Amino acid sequence: MMAYKSFYLVFPIALLILPFFNSPSFAQITPTINPVSPDRICKFTRDPLYCKSVLPNWGNVYDYGRISVQKSLWQSRIFFSLIEYYLRTQSRSLKTPAIRALQDCKFLASLNTDFLTSSYQTLSNANQTLPESRAGDAQTLLSAILTNQQTCLDGIRATAPSDWRVGNGAFTVPLSNDTKLFSVSLALFMKGWVPERKNSTARWPWQPTKVQQLFLNGKLPLKMSNQTREIYERVCRRRSSGDDSENYVLVSDIVVVSQDGSGNFSTINDAVAAAPNNTDGTNGYFLIYVTAGVYEEYVSIAKNKMFLMMIGDGINQTIITGNRSVVDGWTTFNSATFAVVAPNFVAVDITFRNTAGAAKQQAVALRSGADLSTFYSCSFEGYQDTLYTHSLRQFYRECDVYGTVDFIFGNAAVVLQNCNMYPRLPMAGQFNTITAQGRTDPNQNTGTSIHNCTIRAADDLASSNITVQTYLGRPWKEYSRTVYMQSFMDGLISPAGWSIWSGDFALNTSYYAEYGNSGPGSNTSNRVTWPGYHVINATDAGNFTVSAFLLGDDWLPQTGVPYTGGLI
């Protein structure tokens, strides 16, 4: 703890104060109607004593909510400055894993500042519940802030054995304190601005619109602007008659990536760099067509590359591959071969691969922290931690996921629909777990929903004649939430269904559920008896469908990707 104190003695006071002057002034908030005491309002938070310590003695739920978000924004800027200063002044004396963990934290703190700024703008003049879509947007951002905090904290803790200066409290203490404040902000937002959830069955029976019916056989009808017929035909064939613009996914521009030099670029990164910044989607997607080939690249799509669509020539035809891993000094977060945080990203017909192998432990093929991101007819190949559904809202349709330990993990609000999960042959002594969901706060709108999917052994496991225990998931974090619905489970699934993480951790607070599954591994009669495990009915399952859980009807139609909004 001495290192923690001494570091703050040399940390420039100006860096601590400056963010305050860039934040909305607390004096701008005055109490309005229906005042309540902090004692009463803090009962709705996870830590009432802490909540009361950060709130004034006056106000109503909206005043308190805005003040907590303001303070959260202030603290996020302070933490960003702390990380930035430490990297600038101390990085020469740090080991590489510690530097990479701090770089992750800097990146995540920057996102938190953006998310809190957006959240405050939403709440600044709202003194009543918000429409469902706007409330969902803000809850998603406030949920992601907590996820970013936890990711930073996990990375720093993992460096402690190799560099005690980073893991000894200098960063873990402010991270933990800020997390408490962010949790208060989320709880007060839920109390003041979120409408009572309507019965999800109100949207049923769901019928697909024209756009959802058009994406057939892997061909996406694109409405091009300023493009030649030749390129148009190379990307996709027209799938419908007539010229009604509703029948197309709007594309503003297109570039072609080809390793033989026949396209606009020979690397994916160069094509991404050419995409416009901060577009609003009015003119459609910027489309990157990646022709068949093996692309040994680490691709990171920044937050300003919005409304980007990437189409390949098919699974195992267009392959993006890398081999970063935790064993080789990378954090789990930055081990990803392909990473995206830009909103409204769409990927089609691409294989994302990490070839580090089972012995290299955590090694991510794809990490998505992109809100409203969509993956159609893609494959994700790795071993431990293959697909990192990190945060915000995501949808996967007709995708293949290969892995061993926790190979679908993260804390997004995510639905995988009509997908295939292929547990592989792990290292000797290991068992397989398909999911490890990372929800840390009961007010987060996150969880993993697996709908109408198929779980079968990958070829290496099926042909090994080795018995490997394979589980549907285990509770990575305290409020882990995963639901399997109307999916086929082959005989490799353990009768218990679910595995512990450590002792009795999260067995009472997690939420694991199954509904209407089939196959020899779907029998629930010998499942775990944890308080957090449930066999649910159609009404409860409806809460985890695309329409209800992701509000997918509001944003998926523009992608052209097919989906089922409710239960099948």
Single out the residue in 147, 162, 193 at which a domain terminates: 193
CA 326 to chain centre: 20
How many domains, in total, are found in the chain?
Answer: 2
**What is the mean pLDDT of the segment spanning 45-57?**
93
- Render pLDDT for 275-321 as a digit per residue (tens, 0 to 9): 999 999 988 899 999 999 999 999 999 999 999 999 999 999 999 99
Same domain, yes or no, for 157 and 185? yes
Distance CA 65, CA 391 (A): 23
94 versus 480: the higher-pLDDT residue is 480
Q: Is residue 30 part of a domain?
A: no
Tokens of 368: 């998505």
**Annotated catalytic, 280?**
no
Q: Is residue 549 part of a domain?
A: yes
Same domain, yes or no, for 272 and 398? yes
- Report the percent of the chain where pLDDT is more than 70: 83
- The predicted model scores a pTM of 0.90
Q: Is residue 187 part of a domain?
A: yes
Grouping H, G, I as helix, E, B as strand and the rest as coil, residue 377 is: coil
Residue 126: its pLDDT value, please?
A: 86
Residue 92: its pLDDT value, please?
A: 86
Q: Is residue 50 part of a domain?
A: yes
Query: Residue 202 above 60 pLDDT?
Result: no
The CATH number given to whatever domain includes residue 231 is 2.160.20.10
Nearest to 551 by CA among 122, 139, 128, 129: 139
The CATH number given to whatever domain includes residue 178 is 1.20.140.40
Nearest to 471 by CA among 396, 530, 539: 530
Same domain, yes or no, for 406 and 499? yes
Same domain, yes or no, for 339 and 478? yes
* Residue span of the structural domain in which 549 resides: 211-564
Query: Residue 478 above 60 pLDDT?
Result: yes
Residues 6 or more apart whose CB falls under 8 angstroms from that of 92 comprise none
Least confident stretch, 40-49, 216-225, 266-275: 216-225
Q: Is residue 26 part of a domain?
A: no
Same domain, yes or no, for 378 and 272? yes
**What is the mean pLDDT of the segment spanning 391-410?**
98
Residue 90: its pLDDT value, please?
A: 86
Same domain, yes or no, for 338 and 417? yes
Same domain, yes or no, for 245 and 186? no
Same domain, yes or no, for 409 and 443? yes
Question: What one-letter code names the amino acid at 64?
Answer: Y
Same domain, yes or no, for 188 and 261? no
Distance CA 219, CA 240 (A): 11
Nearest to 117 by CA among 69, 83, 82: 69
Same domain, yes or no, for 341 and 428? yes
**What is the mean pLDDT of the segment spanning 37-57?**
93
- Render pLDDT for 142-195 as a digit per residue (tens, 0 to 9): 999 999 999 999 999 888 666 656 656 678 889 999 999 999 999 999 999 998
Report the chain's mean pLDDT, rounded to a whole number: 86
Residue 151: its pLDDT value, please?
A: 97
**What is the mean pLDDT of the segment spanning 18-43?**
63
Residue 159: its pLDDT value, please?
A: 80
Single out the residue in 133, 162, 193 at which a domain terminates: 193
Single out the residue in 193, 220, 235 at which a domain terminates: 193
Residue 286: its pLDDT value, please?
A: 93
Q: Is residue 375 part of a domain?
A: yes
Same domain, yes or no, for 254 and 346? yes
Q: Is residue 8 part of a domain?
A: no
Residue 221: its pLDDT value, please?
A: 45
Query: Residue 75 above 80 pLDDT?
Result: yes
- For 16, phi and psi rounded to 5 degrees? -80, -35
Same domain, yes or no, for 399 and 284? yes
C-alpha distance from residue 435 to each of 145, 295, 330, 386, 516 (Å): 22, 28, 22, 10, 19
**Catalytic site residue from 406, 459, 504, 554:** 406
Q: Is residue 351 part of a domain?
A: yes
- Render pLDDT for 410-467 as a digit per residue (tens, 0 to 9): 999 999 999 999 999 999 999 999 999 999 999 999 999 999 999 999 999 999 988 8
